[in-house]
Structure 1
Amino acid sequence: MGMILACSPKTQVNQSTSPSDEPQYLLTVGNENVPAEEFLHMLSKNRDFNQTGEKLSPEEFEENLALFIDYKLKVKEAEALGMHESEDFVREFGTFKEDLKKPYLLENSLQEGELRKAYSRMQEVVHAQHILLRFPPNASKEDSIAVLRMAINLKEKAEGGENFGELALEYSQDPSVSTNQGDLGYFTSLQMVYAFEDAVYQLQEGQVSDPVLTSFGYHIIKLIDRKPNPGQVRVSHILVRTDPADPVSEDRARRKITDIYTELQKDDVSWDEVCKAYSEDNATKNSSGNLPWFGVGAFIKEFENAAFSLREEGEISAPVKSPYGYHIIRLEEKKPIASYEEMEESLKSKILRDSRSDLIQSQVIAIQKSKYNFKENTAIINASISSMKQSSGGISNAHQILADKNLMDSTLFTINEKPKKVSDLVSFIEADEVVIKPSQRNQFKAWLDKFIETSLAETEEMDLLANNEDYRLLIKEYRDGILLFNLMNEMVWQKALKDSAGLQEYFTEHQDQYQWKDRVQALIIKINKTSVKSPVQEFLTDKPYNSQLKSELTNYLEKDHSPLEFSIDQGTYEYADHPVLKKAALQKKLQQVTVDNKTYIVLLGEQFPAGPKALNETKGKVIQDYQESLDQNLISLLKENYIIQINEDEKNRIADIVVTQN
C-alpha cells in the first residue's frame, strides 16, 4: 500500500547528557522530547488518582502508554507534513485558543469577582430616593463645577433635615420627579447604572450620599429601606384601562373594576371566564391574564407592590391603580432568588453590557502594567500624538507623518524591558485587525491605547504559556488534537471513503470475513393487541411471500385498528441469530411464534444458504475495517521511520502515581 510520509531519519539519540542537566521526559519521538506530565495530564482527564478505586491496572497502564505513543507519532507526522502551518489549522487553533485561555486570564478572575458581588447584592432589595442634576449642553469645566457645588449644597440641605421629596420636586431634573418625588421604589443589583448602584449599596438607612456622577449627571441619593430579596412571582391580571384625556373614563373604570372584583368573590365564578370577558389587556385576556415571571424593580411600582404582597397561590388582590388603569392581580407562583450557578450566565451577559465591563478592563490593564513592568516613554508618546494632530493626513498616513519626524525607530513603551517602537504601532494600525473605538478628538490616541492593551494581553498569554502548566498542557492537547484529526482525516478516513479501488481490493482480500449465514425471507408481525391477530391471519392465509406485503397489510389493518396495536418488519434475515425466527419452523410457511410472552405472526418466503456477501451488502462495515487497516499500516510505518525511546525512570514515576499497588 503506497503512502507518502514525511519522517525524520533513523538516527540515535545522544545519551551522553546527564538526566539532571535537562528537563526530564517520558519519551523521545524522533528528535522531540515528550514530558511525562503530558501523559499524566491525558490519563487524569476522567480519573482522580488520589482515589484507590480510580487507579489503573498494570495492563491498562501499558495499553494507555501504547496509545499515547501512537498519538504522539501521528502528531509528529502531521508536523513533518506542515499541517501546523496551514491557514485552516492556524485559524481553527486560534479560535480554540481564544476560548481556552479565558478562564486563566486576569480578566476572568476580576469578572468572577464582579459576578459574585452582583449576586451577593441581589440577596437584598433597596428602596431609594434621588435628586438628579443634569449638565447643560456642551458643558464647560466651569459648568460641571457649578453643578457639583449645587449637588453638595442639596446634600447639606437634606442632611440638615429638609424634606428630601420636596427638595427633589424643587431641584431634580429627572422627568419622573413630578409623579414620584424622586422615589425609585425597590430595586436590586444590575437594575441601575453601576455608579448609582455602588453608592446605594454602601449607604445605611436614612443616610444621604455624596454627589454620585453618572452619564445622566450628578445624583444625591437617600436610602429609605433595605430588606431581603423576595425572589420572583408569576401572576395573572385583569385590566380595565383609563384614558387620561377622558375625565369620565376614570370613574367608569373604577366602577367596572369594582363590579368585576365583586363577581370574583362568588364561589361559582371562573377567573378564566371573567378575564376573557372583561379584561382590556388584549395580549393576555385569552390566556387567563398570565404574565411572565418577574422580580423586584421589573414592573411599575404600584403593580409590583400589590403582586409581592400576595401570600397564597390563587389569592386575589383588591383593585390596584397604575398609569395603565385598574388591575386585579392573582398570584400563580412564587420562587426564591435562583442559585449563583443558575444565574451565572445571565449575570455575565448583563455585566458585559454595562459599565462594569469597562471598569474590569481598566483594572486588568492596571494590573498588567504593574505585573509586567510597563514603562511609558512620555516624550515620544506626546511627540507622536502632537505630530499626528498637526498633520492633515489622517490615520492612514501615519507611516509617512511619523517617518518625516524621524520617530519610527523611537521607543513608545517597554514591557518587561522589551521595547515597543513607533514603527510597531504603525504596523499594528496598518494591519487593521482589531476593532477600535476612536474618540472624536484623537483617533491616533485610540489606536495607541488599543496597541498598549493588545501588547499587554499578548504578554499575559506568553506568561501563561511559560509559567502555568495546566494552561500549557491544555493548549498542547488541543493543538495536537487538531493535528491528529487533520492527519487521520487525510490519510485514513477520507482515503477509505474515496479510494474505491483500494476498498475493493481490501474487500476481495478479506472476503472470508464478510459471509452470510443461512437466511430466509420473512414478514414478522408483532401482535400488541389480541383483536389484531385474526385479521392478520385471515389476510395472510394462502398468500405467498412478496416484497409488497408489509405495505398491503399495514393499509388493511389501519382501516379498523390503531398503529399502536401492531408492528411489522419485513426482510431477509439470518434466522439462527434472530430472536423470533430462531424459534420458527422453517418448513411451515405461515405460523404463530411466542417470544417472552409476546405473540408474533410469521410468514416465510425463500431460503438462502450461507455464502459470501456482495460489497454493496456490507459496504459500511468494509469501510470501517479498511479505515482500521489504514490506521494500523500508518502506525507501523511511523514506528519504522521515527525512533521511539522510553525513559524508564519517568515511566515508573508515573506508574507509581496512577497504577494500583497489589
Structure 2
Amino acid sequence: MKLKKVLLSLCLCVVATMAAQQQNKEVLFTIDGNPYYTNEFVRVYNKNLELVKDDSQKDLDNYLDLFIGYKLKVNKANKLGLQNGKKYLNELKSYRIQLSKNYLTDTKVTDELIREAYERSKKEINASHILFMVGENAEPADTLKAYNKAMDVRKKILAGQDFGKLAAQYSEDPSAKQNEGNLGYFSVFRMVYKFENGAYSTPKGEVSMPIRTRFGYHLIKVNDVRENRGDITAAHIMILKPRKEDAEQEAKAKQTIDEIYQKLKQGEDFESLAKQFSQDKSTAPVGGRLNKFSSGELSSVTFEDQAFALKTEGEYSKPFQSEYGWHIVKLIEKHPAKPFEDLKAEFEGRIKRDDRSKLIAASMTEKLRAKYTIDRNEKVYEKVLKTLNDKVYTKSWTIPADSDILDKTLVTINNDKQLKVKGYLDYLASHQTAVAPLKPLGKYAQNVFDKYINEELATYYDDNLEREFPEFGIVMEEYRDGLLLFELMEKEIWEKAKIDTVGLEQFYNKNVANYQWKQRVDADIYSSTDEDVIKKTRKYLKKGKNAEYIKEKLNTADNVAVIEKSGVFETDSDALPKQNKYKEGVSKIIQEDDYYYVINTNQVLPASAKSFTECKGRVINDYQQYLESTWVDTLRDEFTVKINQNAFEKVKKQLQQ
C-alpha cells in the first residue's frame, strides 16, 4: 500500500547527527515501566521539524504529548499481539532485507568493479583463443597436465607458428575447427570474467600466458582493439542460403535479393518489401526490424560490420552475403555509448549476476573472518570426521542415526554464537552435490566446513546489524513502530469507522452543521470561443431546444463550435460562470477570458444540509479522526505514563539554544 511505501521512504531519511544523539541519553518518560529516552525524542523532533506545518506541533510541550500518544499506540499494538502477525512479520522482513543490502556487500570492491567495467566498455577487443579443457575441481595432476599442454603450444606460437592453425589442431573448443579460435569482437560482460581479464590485459598482437577459467586453460591472442561502436537498431531483408549446395538455387537467391534492391532504389518502402519477401520469419512480420544489438551479440560478424558501416538513419546497404544468406540492412538508429552515471546501476546489477559477484562475496567474507573470532573445538571436530565415509563421493552419505555428538558445540563465533555438530552435518549432507569431491576425506570435510562457516558468519553479521550499526537499528525501530501503528489503526480506527453505521450516523447528526450545501444551481452550461455561436445557442435555448439539437446545428465533424456540461453546481464553484444573481431560465451571454457562456438554469437550490449519503466519505474521514483523538485519551487511562520533568526541561534548553 502507498502508506507503507511512504513509511519506507521516510525511514531512509535518517539524519547524519544520529550517532551523536546516542550520547547522554536519559529516560524521558515510561509507559507501564517501559523507558523512552531523550535522544530518541530529540532525533524525531529535529527530523520532523521541517515537515510540521502546524506551529502548535512545534511547541515542545505539545510535541511531547504527540510523541507519548504515538508510543501509547505502539504499546497497544504490542498488547494486542499484532507484532506476531504473519503479514506484519513478512513485511518487516522484506523491509529489513531491502535496508540491509548496503551493509551486506563490500561497496568499495563493488564500486571498483563498476568503474573497471565502464572503462572496459569503451573498447571492443577482437581475440582468438585455444582451449585446453580441465575441470574446475580437477585433481592437481590433471590440472598440471593441461597447463603444460598450454605452455607447449604457446612456445610454438612464440616460435612463429600460426595461431589459427594451432587453434584448429589443439583447441578443445569445438568451433575452433571452423573459426581457428577467432571469437570476433566483444566488450565487457560478453565473456566469463577471468577470460575477459586475460583479453583486456594482453597487448594487441601478443599472446597471453595460460588463463584459467571454469572451462580450463586458455591461450588468448588479441588481434585488434577498437573504440566501442555503441548499440544499433537496424532492419534487414534476408533471402536464405540454400540448405544444400545448389548452384541454381544460389543464383536464384542472388537474383531475388538484387531485384528487391532495385525496388528499393525505385523508391519502394523497405518495411513493405521486408514483410513480403524477407525469409527471416522472426522479423519479416515487423518489417525486418531487429532488436537493438552491439558488437559481438549477433552470430555474424559480416552482418554487424555492414550494419555499423551505415552512417545516416534510413540508409540501407547494397546486397551482401553472410554465412546465412543474402541481406540488405537498413539503419534505423545508432545509440552511442552511454556516460558512466547512466550505466552505473545497470552495471552494478550485471556484476552481481556474473563471476565478479564472487569477488565481492570473497572480500566480504575476508572482512568478516578478520572481524570475528572463530573457535573450533578440535576434539569434537575429530569425532565429526569419524562420522564421514566415502559415500560423500557418491552423494549418498547420511548422518549416523546413533551419533552421540550431534548436540555438542563445534564452533563458537565471536564468543557469542554456538554452532552445534548437527548444524554442520546437516549442511554437509545437503551440499553433497554442490561441493567438489576432494580427496582425501579430511580435505573434503575442511572444504565443506569453510563454506559452512562463511555462510554462518554472514548470517551472524546480518543478525547483528542493529547492534553493529546504531543508525540501522534506529531505522528498523522506526519501521517496526510504523508498521505496527499501521496495523493497529487499520484494526481499531479505519475499519471500525467504516462498519460502525450507528456511530457514523450519530456523529453525522451531531455535526451536521459541518456538512452544508451552499446555494446551488441545477444548470446546463454552454461555452464557445465564438460569440456568434453563443448568441445562436441562446436563441435556440430560448426556443426550448435541447443540447443534442444545438450541437447538431452548430457543430460539424471538423469543428466543435460549442460544448455543453450539465450538473448541480455551488454558485461559488469555479466550474460555474459568475453571475450577479442566479435564477431559473436562460442567462445573458457571459464573457470570461477568451470564452463566451450561456447558462440554462433549471432550478436554484437554496443552502441546506447535505444528506448523510451525499457526504458519507467526508463523514467517515472525520469520524476516523474523532475516534483517534478520543482513543488516545482512553489509552492514557489504560496505560500508566510517568514523565521525567527534569529530563524534559534539559531537552527544552538543548532544543531552544
- Identify whether the pair has TM-score above 0.5, normalized to the shorter chain: yes
- Structure 1 residue 421 and structure 2 residue 419: aligned? yes
Q: Do 2:231 and 2:335's aligned partners in 1 also have CA atoms closer than 8 Å?
A: yes
Q: Do 2:206 and 2:221's aligned partners in 1 also have CA atoms closer than 8 Å?
A: yes
Cα distance in 2 for partners of 1:21, 1:41 equals 13
Cα gap change, 1:622 to 1:141, in 2 (>3 Å): same
Shift of 1:462: 4.5
**Counterpart code for 1:412:** L
Cα distance in 2 for partners of 1:475, 1:436 equals 37
Matches within 5 A, 1:538-549: 540-541=541-542, 543=544
- Structure 1 residue 336 and structure 2 residue 333: aligned? no
CA offsets per residue over residues 121-148 of structure 1, 9 Å max, x none? Answer: 2122112110112349997664443222
Percent identity among equivalent residues?
28
Cα distance in 1 for partners of 2:57, 2:513 equals 32
- Structure 1 residue 633 and structure 2 residue 624: aligned? no
Cα distance in 2 for partners of 1:428, 1:516 equals 72
Cα distance in 2 for partners of 1:38, 1:395 equals 59
Shift of 1:99: 0.9
Shift of 1:39: 4.5
Aligned to 1:106: 105
Aligned to 1:16: none
Aligned to 2:323: 323
Aligned to 2:164: 165
Shift of 1:260: 4.8
- Of 64-73 and 515-524, more deviation after overlay is shown by 64-73
CA offsets per residue over residues 372-413 of structure 1, 9 Å max, x none? Answer: 123444553454354154799x99974x63xx3321243322
Q: Do 1:126 and 1:188's aligned partners in 2 also have CA atoms closer than 8 Å?
A: yes
SS in 2 for 1:600: strand
Shift of 1:604: 1.8
Aligned to 2:465: 464
Cα gap change, 1:23 to 1:459, in 2 (>3 Å): farther
Shift of 1:626: 0.9
**Counterpart code for 1:180:** N
- Of 220-229 and 344-353, more deviation after overlay is shown by 344-353
Matches within 5 A, 1:397-436: 398=399, 401=401, 404-422=402-420, 425=423
Shift of 1:168: 0.7
- Structure 1 residue 199 and structure 2 residue 198: aligned? yes
Aligned to 2:29: 28
SS in 2 for 1:616: coil
Cα gap change, 1:459 to 1:537, in 2 (>3 Å): same
Shift of 1:278: 4.7
Q: Do 1:41 and 1:473's aligned partners in 2 also have CA atoms closer than 8 Å?
A: no
Shift of 1:213: 2.6
Q: Do 2:523 and 2:569's aligned partners in 1 also have CA atoms closer than 8 Å?
A: yes
SS in 2 for 1:219: strand
Cα gap change, 1:429 to 1:565, in 2 (>3 Å): farther
Given candidates 561, 569, 590, the residue that maps to 2:586 is 590
Cα distance in 1 for partners of 2:424, 2:520 equals 77
Q: Do 2:410 and 2:421's aligned partners in 1 also have CA atoms closer than 8 Å?
A: no
Cα gap change, 1:560 to 1:440, in 2 (>3 Å): same
SS in 2 for 1:603: strand
Q: Do 1:310 and 1:331's aligned partners in 2 also have CA atoms closer than 8 Å?
A: yes
Cα distance in 2 for partners of 1:91, 1:445 equals 36
Aligned to 2:18: none
Q: Do 2:435 and 2:448's aligned partners in 1 also have CA atoms closer than 8 Å?
A: no
Cα distance in 1 for partners of 2:22, 2:305 equals 74
Cα distance in 2 for partners of 1:505, 1:45 equals 36
Aligned to 1:496: 497
Cα gap change, 1:419 to 1:24, in 2 (>3 Å): closer
Q: TM-score, normalised by structure 2?
A: 0.81
- Structure 1 residue 618 and structure 2 residue 615: aligned? yes
- Of 505-514 and 581-590, more deviation after overlay is shown by 581-590
**Counterpart code for 1:405:** S
Shift of 1:535: 7.3
Q: Do 2:135 and 2:215's aligned partners in 1 also have CA atoms closer than 8 Å?
A: no
- Structure 1 residue 480 and structure 2 residue 484: aligned? no
Shift of 1:479: 1.4
Cα gap change, 1:564 to 1:192, in 2 (>3 Å): farther
Aligned to 1:50: none
Cα distance in 2 for partners of 1:224, 1:163 equals 13
Aligned to 1:525: 526
Shift of 1:297: 1.4
Shift of 1:79: 2.9
- Of 22-31 and 335-344, more deviation after overlay is shown by 22-31
Q: TM-score, normalised by structure 1?
A: 0.80
**Counterpart code for 1:622:** V
| Structure 1: runs of 5+ lacking an equivalent | 1-19, 48-53, 657-662
CA offsets per residue over residues 413-446 of structure 1, 9 Å max, x none? Answer: 221123523256179879x9x9997459699999
Shift of 1:40: 3.0
Shift of 1:55: 12
Cα gap change, 1:142 to 1:459, in 2 (>3 Å): closer
**Counterpart code for 1:469:** P
